[in-house]
Structure 1
Amino acid sequence: MNSSVSTKPREIPATTRPRYRVTAPRVFRSEWAKFWSLRSSWITLGVAALILVAFGFIASASFDPSGAAAQPAVGPAPASDAVGLALTGTSLAQLAIGVLGVLVAAGEYSTGMIRSTLTAVPRRLPVLWSKALTFAAVALAACAVAVLAAFLVGSTQVSGTSAALSLSDDGVLRSLAGAALYLALAGVLGVALGALLRSVAGGIAALVASLMIIPGLTSLLPDSWADTVGPYLPSNAGDAMMSLHQSSGALSPGAGLAVLTGWVALVLGGAALRLVRTDV
């Protein structure tokens, strides 16, 4: 009996590997999960909210109706209404939110993780837009709650005084919404600066300079120049958005929003241009 061994190779059934498309919603979900996986996100948002509520409470509790109208020799007049008192901590909260925005964008460059991110999303720009959109949504929601809490807590301290206001009073909701929107845009400005400079230290330095140092330096300019340039700086535009009463020479709330949005769009555009034209 002859036996023969078949040398024909076995056919392995073909398996179909799933194909995954890189879409904008999937990139957004990825950035959303990445944001909440960082402990610094929770801590910094909590610090910003605590600053708003604590400083608003302290300013409201120390409010003196008899001296509220006194103009100091140097610096702006103290707040004389519940909205201004509640928003006393905005200047510090904007730094916390802005620094977190810088970390969201520049942190991946400092660790080298940006290479993996851009390998998964070769078109690149959806990564930047998703980072900015994720941060804007989270910051706006968190700041809206913190601003409202600061106002409600502070209002209990000035009840029955000349500074007392309620949410139904004219302009109050608009000012509180403007403050929350300003803080969120300041955070997105941090994201844009971090993506543009690709350095945590450089992004934070640029953020502090644009929001605090440069506005202070405008006081050294001649009055005609300062009055022309000053209102269009990011922080001054933000003040116009959240002020209950507009001072002379300041922008209207709508104009302040347009100016600040323009600054954010300009820096984001520069970051997008660098992202598509240079290697990581």
Structure 2
Amino acid sequence: MTTLATTASAPARYGFRQAARMEWVKLRTLRSTFYALLLTVVSMVAIGVVTMANTKAPSPDKAATFDPTNNVLAGVALGQLLIGVLGVLIVTGEYSSGSIRSTLAVLPDRRLLLTAKACVYGGVVLLVGEVVAFLTFFAGRAALAAGVPRPDLGDAGVLRAVLMSGAYLGMIGLMGLGIGAIIRHTASAIASLVGVTFVLPALIGGISGPTVAKYFPTMIAGNSLAVTKPVSDMLAPWTGFAVLCLYTAVVLGVGARLLARRDA
């Protein structure tokens, strides 16, 4: 009887598989997930089509720097905001509603919890990012007027640019998740995300030029990843990608440490 009582009262053990399943259920049952991802797809495709429809054939003196692939992926700027904000809300929403206490009661290993959140959300937004990047590319390519050079996935750098743009959205989603874990307050976390991705690059770029601004995520995305031709004074594509991977790892690492050390 003692053995049976002890077994019955023992808490269930949750590993990564159970934690990931729990996070997947929470993610797919949030209405904000569907609407944010749908808006990301629609807005990126729409921006890509409109941009390409208004793209004119380059003059002879600008033909060498003409990069229609960069033009068609212009919607990444808005897509990153939507996906980043959703990443923030996945964490801060639990704090604002108080449901984080129930989550931690079931899964007290906080690092495992954040790992599960990152893997589930990161996997979803990486998939969505790649799908929307290719969808935008083909839709925008079809919208080009006759006589304008059409990019092709077989052209030098084009496939890499499209793939990296999709991966960038995945990393921004994870950065938003990490910022949410660090700050825990929705408005402050979103303000920090917007500041890092939009405000600071513009301010610093206006003061010092690309010397410092080129290291900010949005500048890396627009001038390093989504390009087929080198942009002067900007990071090379693979260098920029490595920097973004480092940023993502650092933000998630700090978020995991603070989540483990602070009270719910």
**TM-score scaled by length of structure 1:** 0.86
> Who is 2:238 aligned against?
254
* CA positional deviation for 1:69: 7.0
* CA positional deviation for 1:19: 6.3
> Who is 2:78 aligned against?
92
> Who is 2:117 aligned against?
131
Deviations 1:123-173 (CA, angstroms, capped at 9, x unpaired): 211111111111110001111111111111111122643331111111111
Deviations 1:56-79 (CA, angstroms, capped at 9, x unpaired): 111111222257977xxxxxxxx9
Q: Residues 69, 157 of structure 1: CA spacing in aligned structure 2 closer, same or farther, 3 A cutoff? A: farther
Kept in 2, the 8 Å contact 1:101–1:194? The answer is yes
Kept in 2, the 8 Å contact 1:81–1:164? The answer is no
Distance 1:232 1:152 in 2: 29
Cα RMSD (Å): 2.3
Distance 2:145 2:137 in 1: 12
In the alignment, structure 1 residue 40 sits paired with structure 2 residue 32: yes
Q: Residues 68, 100 of structure 1: CA spacing in aligned structure 2 closer, same or farther, 3 A cutoff? A: farther
Q: Residues 69, 144 of structure 1: CA spacing in aligned structure 2 closer, same or farther, 3 A cutoff? A: farther
Q: 1:36-115 maps to which residues of 2 (within 5 A)?
A: 36-65=28-57, 80-115=66-101
1:232 counterpart letter in structure 2: Y
Unmatched runs of 5 consecutive residues or more in structure 2: none
Kept in 2, the 8 Å contact 1:238–1:260? The answer is no
> Who is 2:163 aligned against?
177
> Who is 1:200 aligned against?
186
Kept in 1, the 8 Å contact 2:91–2:180? The answer is yes
Q: Residues 84, 68 of structure 1: CA spacing in aligned structure 2 closer, same or farther, 3 A cutoff? A: farther
Of residues 138, 155, 158, the one that matches 1:152 is 138
> Who is 1:3 aligned against?
none
Deviations 1:200-249 (CA, angstroms, capped at 9, x unpaired): 11111001000000000113324xxx443122112222231221112111
Kept in 2, the 8 Å contact 1:234–1:260? The answer is yes
Distance 1:68 1:155 in 2: 21
Structure with higher helix content: 2
> Who is 2:12 aligned against?
20
Among the aligned pairs, what percent are the same residue?
33
Radius of gyration: which is bigger?
1
Point out which structure has higher relative CO (alpha carbons under 8 A, 6+ apart).
2
Instruction: Please give the secondary structure, in 2, of the residue aligned with 1:65.
Output: coil
Deviations 1:257-276 (CA, angstroms, capped at 9, x unpaired): 11111112222122112111
Kept in 2, the 8 Å contact 1:69–1:80? The answer is no
**TM-score scaled by length of structure 2:** 0.91
Instruction: Please give the secondary structure, in 1, of the residue aligned with 2:214.
Output: helix
Kept in 2, the 8 Å contact 1:82–1:154? The answer is no
1:275 counterpart letter in structure 2: L
Deviations 1:10-55 (CA, angstroms, capped at 9, x unpaired): x9xx686486321011101110111001011011000000011111
> Who is 1:238 aligned against?
221
Distance 2:39 2:193 in 1: 18
Distance 1:66 1:244 in 2: 16
Instruction: Please give the secondary structure, in 2, of the residue aligned with 1:64.
Output: coil
Distance 1:271 1:278 in 2: 11
Unmatched runs of 5 consecutive residues or more in structure 1: 1-10, 71-78
Q: Residues 68, 117 of structure 1: CA spacing in aligned structure 2 closer, same or farther, 3 A cutoff? A: farther
Of residues 119, 124, 141, the one that matches 2:105 is 119
Q: Residues 149, 69 of structure 1: CA spacing in aligned structure 2 closer, same or farther, 3 A cutoff? A: farther
Kept in 1, the 8 Å contact 2:53–2:145? The answer is no
Distance 1:273 1:227 in 2: 32
